[in-house]
Amino acid sequence: MPEPLTAEPGNPERGRLVVRDLGAASCLICHAMPIPEEPDHGDIGPPLHGVGARFTPAELRQRLVDPKAIDPDTVMPSYYQLEGLRDVLGRFVGRTIYTAQQIEDVVAYLATLTEDP
């Protein structure tokens, strides 16, 4: 998914705030990340240290927007997808988990994670 979703380039500082936001399906619920000031990182998905070295921004974007296109059985939610969902709770109907700009900000932040732990 090489094309950015927004005209405004992703901002990695904003992206780092987005992934920490516990009210917004934080990455930390399932992934360990190099964010030492937050306790209790989850271990459902792989650690994200070094993820910026393993994947291009286009690949990271794909894995955020619709990881089920890569693995239909994954438990990773699609953060920018409205199709194929059922019984979505009222206040989330018609809304993606992240906005287009949040996707770009998070892609920009993840791209900075080039070091293994």
Interface with another protein (CB under 8 A): 22, 25-26, 28-30, 39-44, 68, 75, 77-78, 84-90, 92, 95, 97
Query: What letter would DSSP give residue 86?
Result: -
Residue 102 token pair: 């949040």
What gap in Å lies between CA 19 and CA 52, rounded to an integer?
Answer: 15
Amino acid at 80: Y
Is 31 or 61 the residue whose CB approaches another protein more closely?
31
Look at residues 54, 51, 55, 19 and name the one whose alpha carbon lies nearest to residue 38.
19
Q: Which is nearer to another protein, 66 or 105 (CB)?
A: 66
Find the shortest distance in angstroms from Cβ 92 to another protein.
5
Would you say the C-alpha torsion 25, 13, 82, 94 has a positive or negative sign?
positive
Closest CB 25 distance from another protein, rounded Å: 7
Q: Which is nearer to another protein, 49 or 57 (CB)?
A: 49
Complex with another protein: residue 26 or 101, whichever CB lies closer = 26
CA 83 to CA 8: how far, in whole Å?
25
- Least separation, in Å, of the C-beta of 52 and another protein? 23
Taking the complex as a whole, the smallest distance from the CB of residue 16 to another protein amounts, in Å, to 17
